[in-house]
Structure 1
Amino acid sequence: MYNKFYNVIVVCSCALFLSGCGTYFNQPITIESARIGEDTEVTKTLRDFPSPVEPLVVGVYKFRDQTGQYKPTESGNTFSTAVTQGATTILIKALEDSKWFVPIERENLSNLLNERNIIRSTRKEYRKNKNPNEPQLPPLLYAGIILEGGIVSYDSNIITGGLGARYFGVGASTQYRQDRITIYLRAVSTSSGKILKTVYVSKTILSQALDANFFRYVRFRRLLEAETGFTKNEPAQMAVSEAIEKAVESLIVEGVEDKLWEVNAEPEVVENLVEKYKAEKNEAQNTALYDRYFKERRSKTSVFLKGGTALIGGDLNNPELTYSVKAGARWYFNPYLNVNSSINKFELTNENSFSKGFNAIDLNAELSLLPFEKLSPFLYGGMGIVNDDDFDNTLFKLQYGGGIEYLVSDKVGISLSATHNLVLSDELDNIVQGKRDDQYFNFSLGLNWYFGNPVKRKKIE
C-alpha cells in the first residue's frame, strides 16, 4: 500500500516541478480586481533609451491585422480574430514610452475634425453675442513622418509535440504548441514620400499543457483514482505588444545608425547602443526558423585525440572489450567536408584464446551534417592498414562510422563515435576459417582542437 501511494507522490511531484510550478501554485480561486497592464521585456528597454535631440512628430493612420485569420478551434474557425485588432493603439503606446516620438491622432481623424468644427461653431456664436475678441482655435500639428505597416502573418502550430508515459495505471504527459506572429513597421517621409526605414520583427507564442494521473485498484473492490495538471497559454496580446515595441526599438536604433535622427548623448553611449544592436541583428540573421543558430564555427585545421574500446569480430568466440587510443588531424575543404588521417593503437582479445596488440593508420573522408551548429552529427569512411605490434603482417582494411560532436567553445569540441573496420583478410586473429574476413569495432570518446579562423560559407550569387 505504501509503495502505491509513493508512486502517486512521485508522479505528482514530477508534474509540478518539470514545468510551470508558478502556474500550479498560483491557481485563480478568487475574483481579481482591475490593475494596470503588465509591461513586456522590451518596455523597460524603450524607457531607458537615451533621449533624442528633438522628438519626432509622427502620425499613425492604421497599424492593424493584415492576416485576416480567425481563431482556430477543434470544431473549426470562429468569428473571433486570431490577433488583436487594436495594434494601432499598442504602437502609439510604444511610441510614447520611447520618448522619441510625439504621436498625433490620425486613426480617428474624422472624429477630431468634427469636434473642432463644433468648437469653431460654438466660439463663433460666443463671439457674436458676448466676446468678439475670443482667440482663434490653434492649428493642428502635422506629422513629418508617417508610420505604416501591420501584423502581416500569424502562423499556427509551427511546432507541436509532447511526451508521456504510463506504467501500471500511473502516468504523466506533457504537450506543447508554438505559434508565430510577424509584423512590419516602416517610416515614411511626408515631405517626399520616401520610405526612410523598414524593420521586421517576429515573436513566438507558446502554449503548454501538463497532466499526471493515477488509476489503480489498491485493494479488493477499492479503486484509487487521482489526477492533476494545468495548461498555460502565452497571451497573444502580450506577444503583439512585445513585437511592436521591439520594432520601435529597431526603428530608433537603425535611424540613429543611418543618421536619420540624432541622439542627445555622448558618442560612446551612441556607439555602444549601435554595436549592441548590430550584434543582436547579426545573431538574428544567423538564426533560422525553430531557433537554429547558424554560425561559422569549425576552423580549417584541427587535431584530435580519442580514447575508448575495441572489440574483435573474428573466427573465435567470446570477444572482449579492450583499450583503444587514437590521434590524428583534420583538414576542411568546406564547412561540410573534410579529410582526416589518424594513428590508432589498440588491443584485440578473445577470452582464453587470443590477445594481441595492433597499430592502424586510417585515411577518411568525413561529412558534418550540421556544421554551423554546436551539436553536429557526422559520418565518415575510408581506407587504412593494420599491423600487429611485431609488424610481421600488414593487412589492408576499409572502415566507416559515425558519431556526434558538441563544441564546448569555438576552439574545443567533444565527440562520441563508433567505427566498423572491415579487414580485407581472414588472418587478423591468426586463424583462417570460413568465408568471412575478420573485422573489429572501435567505440571512442574524443577531444578536438581547432586552429585558425572558421571555414567560410560560400554565398550563392
Structure 2
Amino acid sequence: MNKTYQVVLFFAISTLSSCGAYFNQPFNNDPARPGEKSTNSHLLTSLPPANDPVEVAVYNFSDQTGQYKAVENGSTFSTAVTQGATTILIKALEDSGWFIPIERENLSNLSTERNIIRNTKQEYIKNLNPNEPPLPALLYAGLILEGGIISYDTNILTGGIGARYFGLGGSAKYRQDRITVYLRAVSTNTGEILKTVYVSKTILSQGLDGSFFRFVKFQRLLEAETGITQNEPVQLAVQDAIEKAVRDLILEGVKDRLWAAQGGREVNQQLVDNYVAEKKAEEDMGLYDRLLIEDVPENNLSFSGGLSLMDGDYSNKEPGYFARIGYQKRLFPNLSIGGNLNYISLDNGRQFKGEFAGVDINARFNFLPKDDFAPFVYGGPGFLMELGNPDLATDEENLESNFFKFQYGGGLRYLFNSRLGAQIFAEHNLITNDKLDNFVHGKRDDHYFNFGLGLNIYF
C-alpha cells in the first residue's frame, strides 16, 4: 500500500470515527446556562394537572451507597454520587405540579428565622402597632417522602473492539455503571407506607481512539493518534432516576386512588392503562436490556422450510429444498426434546437427483430460554426413506432406499410474544453409509446440509 495513501486513510478514519471530538471541541469558556433536562423531565412535566396537590415533606433523601469515586492511582474522598439528592427530589416534586413541597431538610434554619420574626413582631406590637397580625402557622405535610440512592454498581458491563494492521489501527471501548433509587410515601396521620417505587438507571462511558505508527522512509518515523471519551454525568443520571421515581409514584397513587388528575375518571383510567403497559414492558427487560418473555408454554409446534445442499461423491452440487413439521417438549428451562417430519429434495445435477421423507429425534439446548432473541443448538439420530426411484442409477447393487443418519445444528430464535416465534438455523446431516447418491467412492460417507427458516407456535 502506498505510504501517502496510508496516511490519508488513517486521518479519514480517525476523523469519521471521532467526529464528535472534531466537530464539538470546546475551545472557549462557556457562560452559565440553565441545567439540562433529563430523559424523564418531559414525561414528568407532561402529566395532566392534579385535582388537589398534596403537601409533602422531604427530610432527607441521601446517598446510602457509601461509595467513593474510583481512581487508577492513589485514593480519593470524593463520593461516587451526588450528596444533593434531596434538592433534586424537591425540584422534581415541584416541577410535577402534583405536590407542594414543604421545607424540612433545613428545618432548624427555618425555625431560627421564624423565631427572629416572632420576637421582632412582639417588640413592634408592644411599642408601635398593637394590631399587627401574628406570624402564620407552618404548613404541615400529609405525606413524608423517604428513601435514597441505595446502590451504585460499577462495571456491570464492559467491552470493546479493536484492530491493527501495519501500524494502522483503532479501538472502541465502553463501560456501563448502574444507579438504583428507592422512594416511598408515608402517611403522617397513620405512619402507613402507602407506596414504594424502585428505579434503576444505567450510566454509559465510551471511548474511541485511532493511531498510526509507521516508518515512511529511512530514519523517518510517522506517528499520530487521536481519540475521544464520553462519560454520562452521574448527577444527570441521578436526576433522571429521581424524576422517574416521582412520576411512577404519582401514577401508582392514581392507580390506587390515593389522588387523582383533573378531567375525571376517563383521564385517570387512561393514565393508569398507559402506566401498566409501560411498567409491563419495563419489567420484561432484564438487567442488560434484554427483553424477557415470561410464561412461554412448554409445547412447541414448528413449521420450517429452506434449502438443502448435497455433499456426496459427485463434484457437481445443486441446491435442493426441504420442508419440515416439528414438535418440541420442554423438559427443563434450557433443555427440550422433540421430533421432526421432513421432506427433502437432494440434487447433484445430472448425476443424481432424489426425494426423501425422514424422521428426526433431537435434544435441543436453549442458551437463553426467557430472552426474546437467543441462540440454540440441537442434535440426535434420524432416518431417511427414498421416495420413488433415483434418477440415473449407476450401480444396481448400490441402490438403497432406507438410511440411518445423525444430525446436529444450531440457530437463532426470536419470540414475538409468549405464543409465537420464528427461527433461523443451519443443520449438518451425516449418513451412516456412502450410498445416498447411489455411488460409492472414497472413504467418506455421504452427508448434506439444510439451511432453514421457520415459524414456532407455543401451546
Q: TM-score, normalised by structure 1?
A: 0.88
1:379 to 373, 377, 380: 377
2:68 to 67, 70, 73: 70
User: Corresponding residue for 1:459?
Assistant: none
1:48 to 42, 46, 49: 46
Partners of 1:364 and 1:380 within 8 A in 2: no
User: Corresponding residue for 1:399?
Assistant: 406
2:56 to 52, 55, 58: 58
**1:327 matches 2:326:** no
User: Corresponding residue for 1:361?
Assistant: 358
Change (3 A) 1:7 1:288: same
Partners of 1:311 and 1:322 within 8 A in 2: no
Q: How big is each residue's C-alpha offset from its partner over 1:254-303, in whole Å with a ceiling of 9 and x where there is no partner?
A: 11001111211243332222112111211222211111111156883231
Give secondary structure in 2 for the equivalent of 1:339: strand
User: Structure 1: which amino acid aligns with 2:327?
Assistant: W
User: Corresponding residue for 1:458?
Assistant: none
Change (3 A) 1:419 1:253: same
Could you tell me how far apart the structure 2 residues matched to 1:321 and 1:170 are?
42
Could you tell me how far apart the structure 2 residues matched to 1:35 and 1:433 are?
81
Matches within 5 A, 1:298-313: 300-312=300-312
Partners of 2:342 and 2:357 within 8 A in 1: yes
2:428 to 419, 443, 453: 419
Deviation at 1:304, TM superposition (A): 1.2
Could you tell me how far apart the structure 2 residues matched to 1:400 and 1:266 are?
63
Could you tell me how far apart the structure 2 residues matched to 1:95 and 1:426 are?
77
Could you tell me how far apart the structure 2 residues matched to 1:76 and 1:448 are?
57
**1:428 matches 2:436:** yes
User: Corresponding residue for 1:256?
Assistant: 254
User: Corresponding residue for 2:455?
Assistant: 449
Could you tell me how far apart the structure 2 residues matched to 1:409 and 1:186 are?
35
**1:344 matches 2:332:** no
User: Corresponding residue for 1:233?
Assistant: 231
Partners of 1:375 and 1:404 within 8 A in 2: no
Give secondary structure in 2 for the equivalent of 1:252: helix
Partners of 2:159 and 2:174 within 8 A in 1: yes
Deviation at 1:243, TM superposition (A): 0.1
Q: How big is each residue's C-alpha offset from its partner over 1:49-94, in whole Å with a ceiling of 9 and x where there is no partner?
A: 1111110000000001001100011125410000000000000000
1:79 to 74, 77, 80: 77
Q: How big is each residue's C-alpha offset from its partner over 1:199-221, in whole Å with a ceiling of 9 and x where there is no partner?
A: 00000000011011111122333
Partners of 2:183 and 2:197 within 8 A in 1: yes
Give secondary structure in 2 for the equivalent of 1:72: coil
Give secondary structure in 1 for the equivalent of 2:26: coil
User: Corresponding residue for 2:290?
Assistant: 292
User: Structure 1: which amino acid aligns with 2:14?
Assistant: C
Could you tell me how far apart the structure 2 residues matched to 1:380 and 1:136 are?
83
Matches within 5 A, 1:174-323: 174-296=172-294, 300-312=300-312, 316=313, 319-323=315-319
Could you tell me how far apart the structure 2 residues matched to 1:214 and 1:45 are?
46
Q: How big is each residue's C-alpha offset from its partner over 1:236-262, in whole Å with a ceiling of 9 and x where there is no partner?
A: 000000000000000000110011112
Could you tell me how far apart the structure 1 residues matched to 2:385 and 2:251 are?
65
Partners of 1:163 and 1:175 within 8 A in 2: yes
Could you tell me how far apart the structure 2 residues matched to 1:234 and 1:240 are?
11
Give the aligned CA root-mean-square deviation in angstroms.
2.5
How many residues are treated as equivalent by the alignment? Answer: 440
Could you tell me how far apart the structure 2 residues matched to 1:34 and 1:239 are?
20
Partners of 1:11 and 1:170 within 8 A in 2: no
Give secondary structure in 2 for the equivalent of 1:81: coil
Deviation at 1:409, TM superposition (A): 4.7
Could you tell me how far apart the structure 1 residues matched to 2:322 and 2:264 are?
56
Deviation at 1:394, TM superposition (A): 3.2
User: Corresponding residue for 1:7?
Assistant: 9
Change (3 A) 1:332 1:269: farther
User: Corresponding residue for 2:396?
Assistant: none
Give secondary structure in 2 for the equivalent of 1:289: coil
Identity %: 47
Deviation at 1:116, TM superposition (A): 0.8
161-170 or 221-230: which moved more? 221-230
Change (3 A) 1:205 1:437: same
Could you tell me how far apart the structure 1 residues matched to 2:74 and 2:247 are?
37
Change (3 A) 1:412 1:284: closer
Change (3 A) 1:218 1:308: farther
Point out where structure 1 has 5 or more consecutive residues left out of the alignment: 456-461
Deviation at 1:376, TM superposition (A): 2.2
Give secondary structure in 1 for the equivalent of 2:322: strand
Deviation at 1:306, TM superposition (A): 1.8
Q: How big is each residue's C-alpha offset from its partner over 1:374-421, in whole Å with a ceiling of 9 and x where there is no partner?
A: 432222223332244527523342323222225385556241312232
Could you tell me how far apart the structure 2 residues matched to 1:307 and 1:321 are?
12
Deviation at 1:319, TM superposition (A): 4.6
Q: How big is each residue's C-alpha offset from its partner over 1:38-57, in whole Å with a ceiling of 9 and x where there is no partner?
A: 11121111111111111000
